[in-house]
Amino acid sequence: MDDSQMLSSKVSTPLARALSTSSSSLAPIKNVTIIGAGLMGAGIAQVSANAKLNVVLVDMNDKVLEKSRASIDASLARVAKKKFPDSAEAIRTVVLSQTSHHNNRTQTTEFAQKSFVADTMKHLKVSTNTSEAVSQADLVIEAIVENIDVKRKLFAEVEKAAKSSAILTTNTSSLRLSDIGLKLKNKSQFGGLHFFNPVPMMKLLEVVRHDETSEETYKSLMEYGKSIGKATVTCKDTPGFIVNRLLIPYMYEALRMADRGDASCKDIDTAMKLGAGYPMGPFELCDYVGLDTTLFIGQGWAKNFPNEPLFKPSPTLEKLVKEGKLGKKTGEGFYKYK
């Protein structure tokens, strides 16, 4: 080997190692903290714990956390019954887990179901101390009320308490990431993870990146989504992302049709189900989502984009919300529920 080859070898080896290191797989997300123990937060905690990630679910109220733990336990029990419907699958699970053999096949099925629930629940902890809960997190997911001031205040506390490598995310369905993270010091490690309710059943996860989200952060969020069994799609920081950006204007246009007397709510729902193949019509969907939630999203968009006719407010929707008719959760919206 001549001098030039030796020099090339000495230079290329460290360079090759550096390139190899930079292109290697990202540090895996192992510890996840979810802030907000409502239906959405509990669902995110469930799927994350089921993927054997270490999860801390945070809320200000112990009673809320107790209720969330109970709902997660019950949800897992339902999943377990579907996962182990017969003794054959249960026996395979028992053997793989190297547990003792059960002669009674019914007991074996029950054992497999209980083991599945217990194995998931052992990955879940709860806390009322936000700063402590995020201190060791690789990923923090905010799933609290859709109030930008409350979210900004929370992220200021989280960024201060979390380790420098932690990725911070919001589960917002209507607010822009750039507005939520306006005061963050490290915006490159901030992104969006928009889940859909009920989280354990809905396969989709929208991974949202704003202008300053780094490529490494984005890739880590995509990997996290895949690790919890979600089908991930990518979207820029646009109002409503993909699903809600198309869904909310569709619901508002249905409202305008009904207001004009073009067709009844029932006939519009029937037409969209049988003619477009939708699982439910726009008014059924609005009742399911919640009329207050639909109104809140629409009002926010109308305020930020006053010249966009698709976001024009609906007097009918506003009237129903004022009357407390919020959909299925209150027993009445566009339809009545027993």
DSSP state letter for 151: H
Determine contact, residues 281/268, Cβ cutoff 8 Å.
yes
DSSP character string of 289-331: H-HHHHHHHHHHHHHH-TT-GGG---HHHHHHHHTT--BGGGT
DSSP character string of 66-109: HHHHHHHHHHHHHHHHHHS-SHHHHHHHHHHTTPPP-SSHHHHH
Tell which residue, 145, 194, 147, 135, has the closest CA to residue 169.
Answer: 194
Is 194 tagged catalytic? yes
3-state SS of the chain: helix, strand, coil percent to 5? 55, 10, 35
Is 264 tagged catalytic? no
Active site residue: 142, 159, 206, 284, which one?
A: 206
> Which residues, at least 6 apart from 133, have a Cβ–Cβ distance to it below 8 Å?
33, 35, 56, 58, 127
CA pair distance 72, 120, nearest whole angstrom:
10
Alpha-carbon 153 to chain mean position:
21
Instruction: Specify whether the backbone of 58 is left (phi greater than 0), alpha (psi in -120 to 50) or beta.
Output: beta
Is 102 tagged catalytic? no
CA pair distance 49, 61, nearest whole angstrom:
21
CA pair distance 12, 23, nearest whole angstrom:
16
Active site residue: 48, 54, 220, 244, which one?
A: 244
Active site residue: 173, 174, 220, 314, which one?
A: 173
Active site residue: 54, 142, 174, 194, which one?
A: 194
Residues annotated as part of the active site: 173, 194, 206, 244
